[in-house]
């Protein structure tokens, strides 16, 4: 596409391959270059996908790059995104947008001042599974949502990740790592959160490397790793949210929403598809055929494509900085309130993103 948005990737590590593979589905995007603090990572991706390899500073100042895709580790999200915005480029960041509400607000302010777009993962809420559930709730299939549950319980990433230390430092943990998928999905379904009450624990002071050259060695745990929280939504629903890196296994479903006239089982928000099941008053559970597209694969650049489409159409993009900022504040409230167990108000608000149309022609986002 001649007017495709030209994208430069900063952070050529593990997740970048998923973005690059998915980009072929979206002609509104042209990924032209990549950079990484470890140049060998960028050189590997550049050779694999035919990209120009640059230093981070070179890419952020490159006039041929319209949009910076920030795939660095969470601790680097704020400085890299901030530098990209100040260079007058649109920025889309991996989750989380930042490690605090203060940082997220500074990024949103910078985007406004430089008249550029700021977006953030996750974009899985745009997939067929989550959009089907959104339509059922919007159509009143379960009546007024009253409450629900959300579970993201794992034994931690050290079993597969060769360098998992950052998951156990400030900005890591199950809430900031996996929480964005669940909280963003819930905001898409129910709207913004008004208050959080949380209890947190650090179950282990040390963990073992489970993969890579340091397998069997120990490393320290600096943060809470097990959370039980109540999320009170502005519209009245209360969701019990459980996030942990300390659970070896469980049998809970990812998300359930309970309403006045029924209940809804919602698929894992880390994926684009999945099974949606509905129980209406007096009836049994039934599986609902997915009504929306983007459900049969990994489209982990969909939010970037939507932002590119929104820039051309001069409309709001769906994986927005407002939702990402709200998600950061909710996560910060879960973590900061976890020690004392006292309610923490959430001050930011965001609109639910505009729903996608049922079964659009593939690639059509507007």
Per residue in 3-34, pLDDT tens? Answer: 899 999 999 998 999 999 999 999 999 999 99
Tell the CATH superfamily of the 5-120 domain: NAD(P)-binding Rossmann-like Domain (3.40.50.720)
Query: How do the domains of the chain map onto residue ranges?
Result: 5-120, 125-295+325-345
What is the token pair recorded at 74?
């969470």
User: Does the pLDDT of residue 1 top 60, yes or no?
Assistant: no
Pairing of strands 262-266, 255-259: antiparallel
Longest dimension (CA), the chain: 62
Model confidence at 365, in pLDDT bands (50, 70, 90)? Answer: confident
Per residue in 228-282, pLDDT tens? Answer: 999 999 999 999 999 999 999 999 999 999 999 999 999 999 999 999 999 999 9
Question: pLDDT value at position 360?
Answer: 66
- Close Cβ partners of 282 (under 8 Å, ≥ 6 residues apart): none
Tell the CATH superfamily of the 125-295+325-345 domain: Dihydrodipicolinate Reductase; domain 2 (3.30.360.10)
pTM: 0.94
Per residue in 99-141, pLDDT tens? Answer: 999 999 999 999 999 999 999 999 999 999 999 999 999 999 9
Following DSSP, what letter does each residue of 249-268 receive, concatenated? Answer: -----SEEEEETTEEEEE--
Same fold, 5-120 and 125-295+325-345: no
Count the Cβ atoms, other than its own, within 10 Å of residue 25. Answer: 16
Per residue in 281-326, pLDDT tens? Answer: 999 999 999 999 999 999 999 999 999 999 999 999 999 999 999 9
- Give the H or E element holding residue 218: strand 218-220
Quick check: helix, strand or coil at residue 173?
helix
- Close Cβ partners of 199 (under 8 Å, ≥ 6 residues apart): 227, 228, 229, 338, 341
Quick check: helix, strand or coil at residue 282?
coil
């Amino acid at each position: 596409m001649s007017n495709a948005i030209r994208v430069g990737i900063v952070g050529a590590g593990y997740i970048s391959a998923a973005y690059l593979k998915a980009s072929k589905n979206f002609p509104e995007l042209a990924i032209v270059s990549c950079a990484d603090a470890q140049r060998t990572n960028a050189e590997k991706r550049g050779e694999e996908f035919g990209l120009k390899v640059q230093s981070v500073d070179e890419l952020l100042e490159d006039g041929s790059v319209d949009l910076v895709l920030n795939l660095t580790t969470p601790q680097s999200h704020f400085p890299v995104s901030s530098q990209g915005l100040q260079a007058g480029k649109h920025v889309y960041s991996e989750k989380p947008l930042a490690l605090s509400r203060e940082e997220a607000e500074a990024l949103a302010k910078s985007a406004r001042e430089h008249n550029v777009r700021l977006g953030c993962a996750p974009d899985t809420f745009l997939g067929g599974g989550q959009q089907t559930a959104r339509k059922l709730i919007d159509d009143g299939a379960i009546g007024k949502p009253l409450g629900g549950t959300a579970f993201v319980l794992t034994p931690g990433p050290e079993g597969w990740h060769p360098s998992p230390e950052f998951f156990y430092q400030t900005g890591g943990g199950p809430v900031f790592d996996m929480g964005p998928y669940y909280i963003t999905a819930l905001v898409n379904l129910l709207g913004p959160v008004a208050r959080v009450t949380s209890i947190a624990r650090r179950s282990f002071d040390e963990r073992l490397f489970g993969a890579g050259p340091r397998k069997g060695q120990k490393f320290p745990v600096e943060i809470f790793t097990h959370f039980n929280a109540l999320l009170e939504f502005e519209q009245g629903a209360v969701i019990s949210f459980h996030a942990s890196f300390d659970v070896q296994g469980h049998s809970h479903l990812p998300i359930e929403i309970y309403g006045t006239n029924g209940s809804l089982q919602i698929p894992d928000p880390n994926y684009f598809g999945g099974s949606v099941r509905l129980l209406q008053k007096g009836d049994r559970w039934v599986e609902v055929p997915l009504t929306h597209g983007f459900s049969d694969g990994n489209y982990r650049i969909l939010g970037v494509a939507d932002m590119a489409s929104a820039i051309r159409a001069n409309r709001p993009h769906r994986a927005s900085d407002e939702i990402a900022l709200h998600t950061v504040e909710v996560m910060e409230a879960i973590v900061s309130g976890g020690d004392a167990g006292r309610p923490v108000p959430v001050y930011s608000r965001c609109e639910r993103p505009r729903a996608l149309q049922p079964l659009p022609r593939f690639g059509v986002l507007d």
